[in-house]
Structure 1
Amino acid sequence: MAKVVVIYSGGMDSFTVLHTALAAGHQVYALSFNYGQRHVRELDCAAEVCKKLAIDHKIIDITAMNQLMAGSSLTDTNIEVAQGHYAEESMKTTVVPNRNMILLSLAIGYAVSIEASAVYYGAHAGDHAIYPDCRPEFVEKMNAVSLIANYQPIPIVAPFLHLDKAAILKAGLDLQLDYSNTWTCYVGAQLACGKCGACVERLEAFAENHRTDPLAYAES
């Protein structure tokens, strides 16, 4: 059984990646990051899922990085979270500078230290429009660097890189996953807002699969 590190935010994409790795027979080491995001609802979901599954799980505090990187509504409560679809220009306010390069670098180092065979993360086609660090060219280049950065080459695996959120959800539904164990909304109130880009895309994915989202929404 091969060890793999899964970058696990607690959202529906990484939840599906986590279970995809488990279904492949891997021994999963889940790695979550507190980078100073607006709320920890996703991290709480991640912790609960890993506890239920008895998966080794670490939540790493890297909030200090926000001393160097600013301008994202995901980390600055003074910036309003944009509403609408990811294709809209306003959603660029949700970009956290260089986030995935930082998270992948830390995950690669962790993988080397535990002699894991790969790092998994949930980049997908739905994010390509506004997130440069979710695009195929980024993943390909980052993978190339990861293969030469240490004595032990660590491939980066993004199983849904060329699929959209609806296809990711279908893959998870085929695995009979319960998406009530995830959180997506950027706002982080008691109920999902139904209006931010993350909620809109999630609701569209469920609609395309002719399913009802198990999460409760304030508005949709």
Structure 2
Amino acid sequence: MSLTSPHGISVSSTVVIYSGGMDSYTVLHRAIREGINVHALSFDYGQRHARELATARFVCQQFDVPHQVVDIRAIHSLIDNSALTSPDIKMPAGDYAADNLRATVVPNRNMILLSLAIAKAVNIGAERVDYGAHGGDHILYPDCRPEFVDAMNHVAGIANFEPVTLHAPYLQSSKADILREGLAMGLDYRHTWTCYEGRQLACGQCGSCRERLAAFAANNADDPLQYETGTTRVPR
């Protein structure tokens, strides 16, 4: 199957930035269903929740998707002023809000990861890079907002001899919207990891867990993951 990108280029393959979380899991399967060649790309940047990478590996093996995990831990000291990359910074709890979850912002993370994904796309002849920025992230993360995506898409079109399109299909969607589409596709969200903590069970308290649980509640569904709190959903 061949699609056409906004740059007017026929799209036969894409590189999906695949963290192992809910959003990128849905993006991955959406790309697979388009019928194009899908290459999954994950990054180990020293995140506390690195167990998401094991989840990503498992899914790609199950669906026979080419998958590369890039070790960029050498840059850890450049991005360690975040609760996601430093065990010395307390992980904030509670719902997503700029005042209590600013500590989870990893400096320049998406620009770094997108740059590397674009390089891989050029290297293998893929015309597109997919990533899971969504509307729920806009309040907190500047590198998930439409103006950032638009700017990076422009750069991806001119930075190499071969233009690459940056594709964020859920940019204007909520996490509940993404989950609704994934459930309609029959996706099994047991094979995802969302929690910012890297423990055996999801904590149920961090902003990422609470947003995930709220998305399941909004869809009148129970989360198949196990939580330390024993919950399967939070009240709407």
TM-score normalized with structure 1 length: 0.98
Question: Does residue 157 of structure 2 align to residue 147 of structure 1?
Answer: yes
Partner of 1:190: 200
Q: Cα offset for 1:100?
A: 0.1
What letter corresponds to residue 70 of structure 1 in structure 2?
Answer: D
Residue by residue over 1:135-164, the C-alpha shift from the partner in whole angstroms, topping out at 9 and shown as x without a partner, is 000000000011000000000000000001
Identity percentage of aligned residues: 57
Query: Of the candidates 14, 18, 30, which is equivalent to residue 28 of structure 2?
Result: 18
- How is 1:23-102 mapped onto 2 (pairs within 5 angstroms)? 23-102=33-112
Contact kept, 8 Å, 2:49 with 2:195, in 1: the verdict is no
Secondary structure of 1:147's aligned partner: helix
Q: Cα offset for 1:3?
A: 1.2
What letter corresponds to residue 91 of structure 2 in structure 1?
Answer: V
Secondary structure of 1:6's aligned partner: strand
Secondary structure of 1:28's aligned partner: strand
**d(CA) in 2 for partners of 1:3 and 1:113?**
12
Residue by residue over 1:25-47, the C-alpha shift from the partner in whole angstroms, topping out at 9 and shown as x without a partner, is 11100000001001321100000
* More moved, 39-48 vs 162-171: 39-48
Q: When the two structures are aligned, how many residues end up with a matched partner?
A: 220
What letter corresponds to residue 158 of structure 1 in structure 2?
Answer: A
Partner of 1:168: 178
Query: Of the candidates 131, 134, 147, which is equivalent to residue 124 of structure 1?
Result: 134
**d(CA) in 1 for partners of 2:98 and 2:118?**
32
Contact kept, 8 Å, 2:135 with 2:171, in 1: the verdict is yes
* More moved, 36-45 vs 94-103: 36-45
**d(CA) in 1 for partners of 2:116 and 2:176?**
29
Structure 2 gaps, min length 5: 2-11, 232-236
Query: Of the candidates 210, 225, 228, which is equivalent to residue 200 of structure 1?
Result: 210
Partner of 2:7: none
Question: Does residue 19 of structure 2 align to residue 9 of structure 1?
Answer: yes
**d(CA) in 2 for partners of 1:76 and 1:70?**
6
Q: Cα offset for 1:88?
A: 4.4
Partner of 1:107: 117
* More moved, 177-186 vs 32-41: 32-41
**d(CA) in 2 for partners of 1:70 and 1:52?**
33
Q: Cα offset for 1:120?
A: 0.1
Partner of 1:134: 144
What letter corresponds to residue 73 of structure 1 in structure 2?
Answer: A
Partner of 2:5: none
Structure 1 gaps, min length 5: none
Residue by residue over 1:72-121, the C-alpha shift from the partner in whole angstroms, topping out at 9 and shown as x without a partner, is 00000011110011124120100000000000000000000100010000
